[in-house]
Amino acid sequence: MKTTKDGKALYLHCLPADINDVSCTDGEVEASVFDRYRNPLYKEASYKPYIIAAMIFLSKFENPQDILKKLEERASKRVFR
């Protein structure tokens, strides 16, 4: 971070992260950096299950676009109450 502009580059990580002097002695990130970017870190990490599910879906089917199209075509309208 010291080499970035004003030391304020956005730090993102898919979590879990090893935090210096918190979860280990010599980790991936300083506690002050982790705390400064806690909200964007957790937002980014919240996408992780969806990315994993998409990767599984893409690797399981030969033509995933066809499956998605069929699901879209047969879907019923959602009713919000």
Q: Identify whether 60 is part of a domain.
A: yes
In a domain, 79, yes or no: no
Residue 43 within a domain: yes
Q: Is 0.85 topped by the overall pTM?
A: no
Is position 48 within any domain? yes
Q: For 8-60, how does the pLDDT look when each residue is reduced to its tens digit (9 = 90+)?
A: 777 777 777 888 888 888 888 888 888 888 888 888 889 999 999 999 999 99
What percent of the residues of the chain are helix, what percent strand, and what percent coil, each to the nearest 5?
A: 50, 5, 45
Other CB atoms within a 10 A radius of the CB of residue 41 amount to 21
Q: Phi/psi of residue 17, each to 5°?
A: -120, 150
14 DSSP 8-state letter = -
Q: In this structure, is residue 13 part of a structural domain?
A: yes
Q: Which domain holds residue 20?
A: 5-74
- pLDDT for 57 equals 94
Report if residue 80 sits inside a domain: no
d(Cα 47, Cα 49) in Å, to the nearest integer? 6
Counted domains in the chain? 1
Using DSSP's 3-state secondary structure scheme, residue 43 falls into: helix
